[in-house]
Structure 1
Amino acid sequence: MEVATVNQQPFRLLDLPAELRRCVYDSIEFRTTWHVLDRTQALLSKRYWPVPPKTQVYESRVTLIRPHAPLEILMTCHLVRKEASPILKRKMEDCRLQPVRYLVDYSAAWALVGPSSPLRSCLGVADRGLRKTENRAVGDFVQMCGSFLSQTRWTQNGVRGPRVIEMTITRKSETAYGIEFLQTMAWLGMFKYYGPTKLVFIYKSPLPSTQLVANGDIKDSKDLEKHMLQTLPREWEIGNETSSERGVFMRPLEGEAFEKHVEGLASY
């Protein structure tokens, strides 16, 4: 039995009325791009990027998430460029107002917030300069992060505010974490910004339990989380995403809310 098929032929965009062409331009989506730096690519020493147990994460990585502007349509012809440019420019401005987002595990977070790590500049801290021993993957990733950071700054009522960085830290449930988790939390508590930058640390609450030595006692992190929330303000205690406050803030999310947040990173 033959199955009837519809022969779909391409159509000329310029055959559409101008109103419909503008609808086409307005429907163009800015997809997200994920730029990944694995620990095995970075080849940094353990003091800069510790090796996490396989029970925590199979491969520790830092993922930079940013929107990608599909500007190829502007290269088709002069008329399309003239019609589409104002619409895409508005979309690009909206993207510039979005935070620079990172998705990490606790070991990768150590690599970002560690006081002497070469990846620290990805969070907008003054770059100490890459060493000759640091490989090209690290250098390229740091430069890419710097490029996106330089383009990000929200504006409200004509006044430029701080650039916003969101760092989402994932973890496995029912898994005890060790020194890489505790040290990361300690460094976050001491993290300082002297420029116009706001870092929002997003994590799954409650914090994971800890086990500092193999077969040692497993302890919950209730007291640690309480201390962190006293040290670093919750984001909503200051204001919304466009708050003019600068510094480091926490955004604890419980179970389902955290999973929904991580899923939402796939699109802007």
Structure 2
Amino acid sequence: MPKNTTARTKQRRSAAIAAAVAVAAILLGTVSYTATRPEARTDVADVSDQQADSTEANDELTDKLAKLARRDAKDPLAQGRADAPVVLIEYADFKCGYCGKFARDTEPDLVKKYVDDGTLRIEWRNFPIFGADSESAARGAWAAGQQGRFWQFHKAAYADGAKDKGFGADRLDALAREAGVKDLDRFRTDREGKAAQAAVKQDSGEAYALGATSTPSFLINGQPLAGAQPEAAFEQAIEAAKARSAKSGGGK
């Protein structure tokens, strides 16, 4: 292959990858992004090659994002089979009203329809973006998880009107009791400890690295989905991911 043709191919490929990353960032709620586009071309061969490069770049990006799924069977902030064909990663904040709407109105149906039958795994990522109260709630949720009560804490913290009561120390204790956390002294120690801080920082860093700046943000087998979308949007994305997994030999 001539050197100039090789250079053009590399340029197209780089541009396609950059565009795919920009698309992912937009879907995850970022406000600003930088995209590199190839020069306009008029010949059919170049257009066809550009489309192929773009598709391949998007596939590569999706595969890369899909690998963010931890699939740790002992992860207390996850539910569903570790080997489920579809993994939904949620980046959320307990002070976020739309996160609460998803938790109350959509997630329970997804659990019944897809988690319970082994199709879907849901992995939570703490992404506190609304200040100190958000950070406190994130650490409290993590601490509840250390005693196997994360999802119960999650339900209590996202109850209608719960976020308006704040997430001060006394309120976190009350939520822990409601969630069935047995050892409150350990809960308090855990939520104020370095391990909680590190875990929340890791989750937040992952979200920011993706370009997410709003909550809730989701990845479904690497495909970005932003906001508390209608339930049908999640079902469509899960079904599509399930079909792709089965086609690639990763289905049940």
Which TM-score bucket, shorter chain as reference? Answer: 0.3 to 0.5
Higher relative contact order (CA 8 A, sep 6+): 2
TM-score, normalising length from structure 2?
0.35
TM-score, normalising length from structure 1?
0.33
Q: Which has the higher helix share?
A: 2
Q: Which has the higher strand share?
A: 1
